[in-house]
Protein backbone atom coordinates (compact mmCIF):
# COMPACT_ATOMS: atom_id res chain seq x y z
CA UNK A 1 0.00 0.00 0.00
CA UNK A 2 1.52 3.35 -0.99
CA UNK A 3 2.04 5.86 1.82
CA UNK A 4 -0.13 8.94 2.08
CA UNK A 5 1.76 12.00 0.73
CA UNK A 6 1.70 13.72 4.14
CA UNK A 7 3.14 10.65 5.88
CA UNK A 8 5.81 10.30 3.24
CA UNK A 9 6.72 13.95 3.61
CA UNK A 10 7.07 13.58 7.38
CA UNK A 11 9.22 10.49 6.95
CA UNK A 12 11.58 12.29 4.59
CA UNK A 13 11.80 15.27 6.95
CA UNK A 14 12.58 13.02 9.92
CA UNK A 15 15.21 11.13 7.97
CA UNK A 16 16.87 14.42 6.98
CA UNK A 17 17.13 15.84 10.49
CA UNK A 18 17.65 12.55 12.37
CA UNK A 19 21.49 12.33 12.18
CA UNK A 20 22.00 15.93 13.30
CA UNK A 21 19.36 15.52 16.02
CA UNK A 22 21.09 12.38 17.31
CA UNK A 23 24.45 14.15 17.23
CA UNK A 24 23.12 17.18 19.11
CA UNK A 25 21.53 14.94 21.71
CA UNK A 26 24.46 12.59 22.32
CA UNK A 27 27.31 15.09 22.08
CA UNK A 28 25.72 18.29 23.38
CA UNK A 29 22.62 17.67 25.51
CA UNK A 30 23.83 14.47 27.19
CA UNK A 31 27.30 15.86 28.07
CA UNK A 32 25.68 18.96 29.52
CA UNK A 33 23.37 16.82 31.67
CA UNK A 34 26.46 14.84 32.74
CA UNK A 35 28.36 17.89 34.03
CA UNK A 36 25.18 19.17 35.67
CA UNK A 37 24.88 15.87 37.59
CA UNK A 38 28.60 15.85 38.40
CA UNK A 39 28.45 19.41 39.70
CA UNK A 40 26.18 18.24 42.51
CA UNK A 41 28.36 15.21 43.29
CA UNK A 42 31.49 14.63 45.35
CA UNK A 43 35.09 13.97 44.43
CA UNK A 44 36.02 10.31 44.85
CA UNK A 45 39.10 9.80 47.08
CA UNK A 46 41.21 8.67 44.08
CA UNK A 47 39.88 11.49 41.86
CA UNK A 48 36.93 11.39 39.50
CA UNK A 49 33.33 11.35 40.62
CA UNK A 50 31.32 9.89 43.47
CA UNK A 51 27.52 10.04 43.46
CA UNK A 52 25.99 12.48 45.93
CA UNK A 53 23.68 15.44 46.08
CA UNK A 54 25.43 18.40 47.59
CA UNK A 55 25.87 22.10 46.92
CA UNK A 56 29.41 21.90 48.31
CA UNK A 57 31.02 22.35 44.88
CA UNK A 58 29.11 25.55 44.19
CA UNK A 59 29.75 26.79 47.74
CA UNK A 60 33.45 26.26 47.05
CA UNK A 61 33.50 28.45 43.89
CA UNK A 62 35.07 31.23 45.98
CA UNK A 63 38.34 29.29 46.12
CA UNK A 64 38.73 29.97 42.40
CA UNK A 65 37.67 33.60 42.71
CA UNK A 66 40.92 34.81 41.14
CA UNK A 67 40.19 32.98 37.88
CA UNK A 68 36.66 34.40 37.78
CA UNK A 69 37.90 37.88 38.63
CA UNK A 70 40.60 37.80 35.93
CA UNK A 71 38.16 36.53 33.31
CA UNK A 72 35.38 38.96 34.20
CA UNK A 73 37.75 41.91 34.14
CA UNK A 74 40.07 41.09 31.25
CA UNK A 75 37.40 39.75 28.85
CA UNK A 76 35.29 42.95 28.71
CA UNK A 77 38.39 45.19 28.69
CA UNK A 78 39.84 43.06 25.88
CA UNK A 79 36.58 43.25 23.92
CA UNK A 80 36.51 47.03 24.39
CA UNK A 81 40.11 47.42 23.17
CA UNK A 82 39.21 45.24 20.17
CA UNK A 83 36.27 47.54 19.46
CA UNK A 84 38.44 50.68 19.56
CA UNK A 85 40.92 49.20 17.09
CA UNK A 86 38.24 47.54 14.94
CA UNK A 87 35.87 50.49 14.42
CA UNK A 88 38.16 52.70 12.30
CA UNK A 89 39.12 49.69 10.17
CA UNK A 90 35.48 48.68 9.63
CA UNK A 91 34.59 52.30 8.85
CA UNK A 92 37.41 52.59 6.35
CA UNK A 93 36.47 49.32 4.64
CA UNK A 94 32.76 50.17 4.39
CA UNK A 95 32.88 53.89 3.61
CA UNK A 96 36.30 55.02 2.43
CA UNK A 97 37.91 52.07 0.67
CA UNK A 98 37.67 52.03 -3.13
CA UNK A 99 35.27 49.28 -4.27
CA UNK A 100 38.04 47.84 -6.43
CA UNK A 101 40.15 46.82 -3.44
CA UNK A 102 37.38 46.38 -0.89
CA UNK A 103 36.97 42.64 -1.40
CA UNK A 104 40.68 41.94 -1.04
CA UNK A 105 40.97 44.17 2.01
CA UNK A 106 37.98 42.50 3.69
CA UNK A 107 39.40 39.05 2.92
CA UNK A 108 42.71 40.07 4.45
CA UNK A 109 40.83 40.78 7.69
CA UNK A 110 38.82 37.55 7.70
CA UNK A 111 41.59 35.14 6.75
CA UNK A 112 43.65 35.38 9.97
CA UNK A 113 40.59 34.45 12.02
CA UNK A 114 40.47 31.06 10.31
CA UNK A 115 44.15 30.33 10.77
CA UNK A 116 45.37 28.61 13.90
CA UNK A 117 44.90 30.75 17.03
CA UNK A 118 47.62 28.62 18.61
CA UNK A 119 50.13 29.63 15.94
CA UNK A 120 49.08 33.27 15.99
CA UNK A 121 49.41 33.40 19.78
CA UNK A 122 52.73 31.59 19.53
CA UNK A 123 53.94 34.37 17.21
CA UNK A 124 53.48 36.87 20.05
CA UNK A 125 55.19 34.53 22.49
CA UNK A 126 58.08 34.63 20.08
CA UNK A 127 58.02 38.43 19.79
CA UNK A 128 57.49 39.23 23.47
CA UNK A 129 59.76 36.48 24.78
CA UNK A 130 63.18 37.27 26.23
CA UNK A 131 64.91 36.71 22.89
CA UNK A 132 62.47 38.94 21.01
CA UNK A 133 61.61 42.59 21.69
CA UNK A 134 63.17 42.72 25.19
CA UNK A 135 66.42 41.51 23.64
CA UNK A 136 66.28 44.29 21.03
CA UNK A 137 65.53 46.85 23.73
CA UNK A 138 68.48 45.53 25.67
CA UNK A 139 70.73 46.27 22.69
CA UNK A 140 69.72 49.94 22.74
CA UNK A 141 70.32 50.15 26.47
CA UNK A 142 66.89 49.50 27.94
CA UNK A 143 67.44 46.34 29.91
CA UNK A 144 65.35 44.00 32.02
CA UNK A 145 62.04 44.67 30.33
CA UNK A 146 59.59 41.85 30.90
CA UNK A 147 56.75 41.64 28.43
CA UNK A 148 55.66 38.01 28.41
CA UNK A 149 53.50 36.71 31.27
CA UNK A 150 51.90 40.07 32.05
CA UNK A 151 48.25 41.18 31.81
CA UNK A 152 49.37 43.52 29.03
CA UNK A 153 50.63 40.59 26.98
CA UNK A 154 47.32 38.77 27.45
CA UNK A 155 45.36 41.86 26.36
CA UNK A 156 47.60 42.25 23.32
CA UNK A 157 47.03 38.60 22.41
CA UNK A 158 43.29 39.07 22.82
CA UNK A 159 43.15 42.11 20.55
CA UNK A 160 45.31 40.28 18.02
CA UNK A 161 43.29 37.07 18.10
CA UNK A 162 39.79 38.53 18.09
CA UNK A 163 40.16 41.68 15.99
CA UNK A 164 38.75 40.04 12.81
CA UNK A 165 35.68 38.87 14.69
CA UNK A 166 35.03 42.43 15.87
CA UNK A 167 35.68 44.10 12.51
CA UNK A 168 33.31 41.91 10.49
CA UNK A 169 29.92 42.63 12.17
CA UNK A 170 30.70 46.36 12.35
CA UNK A 171 31.72 46.34 8.69
CA UNK A 172 28.49 44.57 7.74
CA UNK A 173 26.34 47.13 9.58
CA UNK A 174 28.29 50.08 8.15
CA UNK A 175 28.13 48.63 4.64
CA UNK A 176 24.33 48.91 4.76
CA UNK A 177 24.62 52.55 5.76
CA UNK A 178 23.05 54.86 3.16
CA UNK A 179 25.87 57.24 2.25
CA UNK A 180 23.33 59.83 1.11
CA UNK A 181 22.45 60.32 4.78
CA UNK A 182 26.01 61.48 5.42
CA UNK A 183 25.89 63.82 2.43
CA UNK A 184 22.56 65.23 3.55
CA UNK A 185 23.95 65.80 7.00
CA UNK A 186 26.94 67.64 5.58
CA UNK A 187 24.73 69.69 3.22
CA UNK A 188 22.66 70.75 6.19
CA UNK A 189 25.82 72.14 7.76
CA UNK A 190 26.67 69.42 10.27
CA UNK A 191 30.32 69.12 11.16
CA UNK A 192 31.92 65.74 10.34
CA UNK A 193 32.12 64.91 14.03
CA UNK A 194 28.45 65.56 14.68
CA UNK A 195 27.51 63.62 11.53
CA UNK A 196 29.52 60.72 12.93
CA UNK A 197 27.95 60.81 16.39
CA UNK A 198 24.49 61.71 15.09
CA UNK A 199 24.21 59.28 12.18
CA UNK A 200 27.07 56.85 11.54
CA UNK A 201 27.64 55.60 15.07
CA UNK A 202 23.96 55.08 16.01
CA UNK A 203 23.29 53.21 12.76
CA UNK A 204 26.29 50.94 13.28
CA UNK A 205 25.34 50.11 16.88
CA UNK A 206 23.82 46.70 16.00
CA UNK A 207 27.17 45.67 14.51
CA UNK A 208 29.04 47.08 17.50
CA UNK A 209 26.75 45.15 19.85
CA UNK A 210 27.08 41.90 17.90
CA UNK A 211 30.85 42.17 17.72
CA UNK A 212 31.27 43.08 21.38
CA UNK A 213 28.93 40.32 22.56
CA UNK A 214 30.58 37.73 20.29
CA UNK A 215 34.11 38.59 21.36
CA UNK A 216 33.21 38.83 25.07
CA UNK A 217 31.45 35.46 25.01
CA UNK A 218 34.34 33.72 23.27
CA UNK A 219 36.83 35.38 25.61
CA UNK A 220 34.99 34.09 28.69
CA UNK A 221 36.00 30.56 27.67
CA UNK A 222 39.49 31.43 26.43
CA UNK A 223 42.34 29.13 27.43
CA UNK A 224 45.23 29.42 24.96
CA UNK A 225 45.95 33.16 25.15
CA UNK A 226 46.23 33.41 28.97
CA UNK A 227 48.09 30.10 29.04
CA UNK A 228 50.74 31.07 26.50
CA UNK A 229 51.02 34.84 27.06
CA UNK A 230 50.03 34.96 30.75
CA UNK A 231 52.23 32.05 31.72
CA UNK A 232 50.11 30.87 34.67
CA UNK A 233 50.21 34.33 36.24
CA UNK A 234 47.17 35.71 34.44
CA UNK A 235 44.82 32.76 34.33
CA UNK A 236 41.22 32.53 33.20
CA UNK A 237 38.35 30.21 34.13
CA UNK A 238 39.38 28.02 31.18
CA UNK A 239 42.84 27.56 32.69
CA UNK A 240 41.34 26.70 36.09
CA UNK A 241 39.16 24.09 34.36
CA UNK A 242 42.07 22.41 32.61
CA UNK A 243 43.94 22.36 35.89
CA UNK A 244 41.03 20.82 37.81
CA UNK A 245 40.24 18.16 35.22
CA UNK A 246 43.65 17.04 34.06
CA UNK A 247 45.94 17.80 36.99
CA UNK A 248 44.04 17.51 40.27
CA UNK A 249 41.28 15.35 38.74
CA UNK A 250 38.58 17.08 40.78
CA UNK A 251 35.78 16.43 38.31
CA UNK A 252 32.78 17.51 40.42
CA UNK A 253 34.33 20.87 41.29
CA UNK A 254 35.46 21.32 37.69
CA UNK A 255 31.92 20.52 36.52
CA UNK A 256 30.49 23.11 38.90
CA UNK A 257 32.86 25.72 37.44
CA UNK A 258 31.98 24.67 33.89
CA UNK A 259 28.24 24.94 34.64
CA UNK A 260 28.82 28.39 36.18
CA UNK A 261 30.81 29.46 33.12
CA UNK A 262 27.96 28.40 30.81
CA UNK A 263 25.52 30.31 33.03
CA UNK A 264 27.67 33.44 32.75
CA UNK A 265 27.89 33.05 28.96
CA UNK A 266 24.10 32.66 28.69
CA UNK A 267 23.60 35.70 30.93
CA UNK A 268 25.90 37.86 28.80
CA UNK A 269 24.12 36.61 25.68
CA UNK A 270 20.68 37.43 27.10
CA UNK A 271 21.74 40.92 28.15
CA UNK A 272 23.28 41.54 24.71
CA UNK A 273 20.11 40.32 22.97
CA UNK A 274 18.00 42.48 25.27
CA UNK A 275 19.99 45.57 24.33
CA UNK A 276 19.98 44.62 20.65
CA UNK A 277 16.17 44.27 20.77
CA UNK A 278 15.85 47.68 22.34
CA UNK A 279 17.93 49.22 19.57
CA UNK A 280 15.91 47.41 16.94
CA UNK A 281 12.73 48.70 18.65
CA UNK A 282 13.73 52.35 18.71
CA UNK A 283 14.90 52.19 15.13
CA UNK A 284 11.53 50.92 14.02
CA UNK A 285 9.77 53.65 15.99
CA UNK A 286 12.00 56.24 14.34
CA UNK A 287 11.06 55.00 10.91
CA UNK A 288 7.34 55.35 11.61
Partner 1 sequence: MRALVSAVYLFLYAPIALVVLFSFNAGRNASEFTGFSTQWYGKALSNGFLTDALINSLIIAFTSATLAAVFGTMAALGMERLSPRARAVFDGLFAAAIVVPGVVIGIATLVALVEVFAFINPVLASLWPGERPPKIGLGYGSIIAAHGLFSMALVTMIVKARISSLGRDIVEASGDLYATPLTTFRQIVLPQILPSILAGFLLAFTFSFDDFIVAFFVAGSKTTLPMYVFASIRRGVTPEINAIATLVLVASLVMIVVARVLMRERKAKTAATE
Interaction residues for partner 1, span 97-136 (CB under 8 A): 103, 107-112, 114-120, 122-127, 129, 131-132, 135-136
Site for partner 1 in 193-222 (CB under 8 A): 217-218, 220-222
One DSSP character per residue, the chain reads -PPPHHHHHHHHHHHHHHHHHHHHIIIIIHHHHHHHHHHTSEE-TTSSEE----SHHHHGGGGGHHHHHHHHHHHHHHHHHHHHHHHHHHHIIIIIS-HHHHHHHHHHHHHHHTS-HHHHHHHHHHHHSTTSHHHHHHHTT------TTSHHHHHHHHHHHHHHHHHHHHHHHHHTS-HHHHHHHHHTT--HHHHIIIIIHHHHHHHHHHHHHHHHHHHHT--HHHHHHSTTTS--HHHHHHIIIIIS--HHHHHHHHHHHHHHHHHHHHHHHHHHHHHHHHHHHHH-
Q: Does the protein bind partner 1 through residue 253 (CB under 8 A)?
A: no
Least Å distance, CB 7 to partner 1, is 13
For residues 61-100, which are near partner 1 according to CB under 8 A?
A: 85, 88-89, 92, 96
| Residue 269 within binding range of partner 1, rule CB under 8 A | yes
**Total residues in contact with partner 1, by rule CB under 8 A:** 78
Binding to partner 1 (CB under 8 A) within 149-168 occurs at 160, 163-164
* Shortest distance (Å) from residue 171 CB to partner 1: 12
Binds partner 1 (CB under 8 A): choice among 265, 272, 275, 276: 265
Residue 51 found at the interface with partner 1 (CB under 8 A): no
Amino acid sequence: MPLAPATKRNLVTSALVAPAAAWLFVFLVLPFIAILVFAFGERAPEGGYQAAFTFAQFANLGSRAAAFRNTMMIAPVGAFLCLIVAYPVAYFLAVKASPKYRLVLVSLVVVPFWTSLLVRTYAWMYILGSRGLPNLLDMVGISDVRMLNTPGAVLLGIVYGYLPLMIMPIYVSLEKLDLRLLEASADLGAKPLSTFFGITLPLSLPGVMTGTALVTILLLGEYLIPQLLGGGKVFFIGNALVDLFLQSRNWPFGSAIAVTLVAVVVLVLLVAMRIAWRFAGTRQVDLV
